């Protein structure tokens, strides 16, 4: 018997924090990517330059099985923190406007950290919710 999403979030603080991280991090990633693409389009004026960043952004999800294996073998809490810091460093370096190839590489690195982050937080779910709430928690995330 399901008690509802708000109830699960109120009852389980670790899950509420995990859900917040799963919501905020991808939103920040998407906003950062959009801003970067708009900047690249304005600076270079070519679709090729913007698509280089989009291609770099889309490679890490293709490596999800490999990156998920990393998440399975590491301390998840530490890994989530390292992934968030790694993404911040990569995008912080991108703010210095390196050449396009370096910028695309930084986006690729940020995407790899984001993919590992997603795998780590997904794998942590059974550790933060009871078995009875696992289906509902999976649905929410």
> Per-residue DSSP letters for 3-60?
--HHHHHHH-HHHHHHHHHHHHHHHHHHHHHHHHHHHHHHHH--HHHHHHHHHHHHHH
Distance CA(103)–CA(97), nearest Å, equals 7
- H or E, element range at 125: helix 100-128
pLDDT score recorded for residue 4 = 63
Alpha carbon 98 to chain centroid distance? 23
pLDDT score recorded for residue 106 = 94
Say which residue the tokens 């294996």 belong to: 69
pLDDT score recorded for residue 117 = 85
Distance CA(42)–CA(34), nearest Å, equals 12
Distance CA(90)–CA(108), nearest Å, equals 9
Alpha-carbon distances, residue 50 vs 1, 63, 91, 98, 111 (angstroms): 48, 22, 16, 14, 16
Enumerate residues 6+ apart whose C-beta is below 8 A from 139: none
pLDDT score recorded for residue 14 = 87
| Ranges of the chain with pLDDT below 50 | 1
Say which residue the tokens 């009875």 belong to: 132
């Amino acid at each position: 018997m399901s008690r509802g999403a708000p109830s699960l979030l109120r009852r389980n603080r670790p899950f509420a924090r995990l859900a917040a991280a799963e919501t905020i991090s991808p939103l920040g990633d998407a906003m950062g990517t959009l801003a970067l693409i708009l900047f690249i389009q304005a600076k270079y004026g070519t679709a090729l330059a913007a698509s280089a960043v989009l291609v770099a952004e889309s490679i890490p999800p293709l490596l999800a099985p490999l990156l998920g294996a990393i998440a399975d073998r590491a301390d998840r809490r530490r890994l989530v923190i390292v992934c968030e810091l790694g993404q911040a460093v990569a995008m912080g370096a991108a703010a210095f406007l390196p050449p396009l190839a370096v910028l695309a590489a930084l986006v690729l690195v940020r995407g790899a950290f984001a993919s590992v982050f997603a795998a780590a937080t997904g794998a942590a779910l059974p550790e933060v919710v009871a078995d009875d709430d696992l289906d509902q928690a999976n649905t929410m995330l």
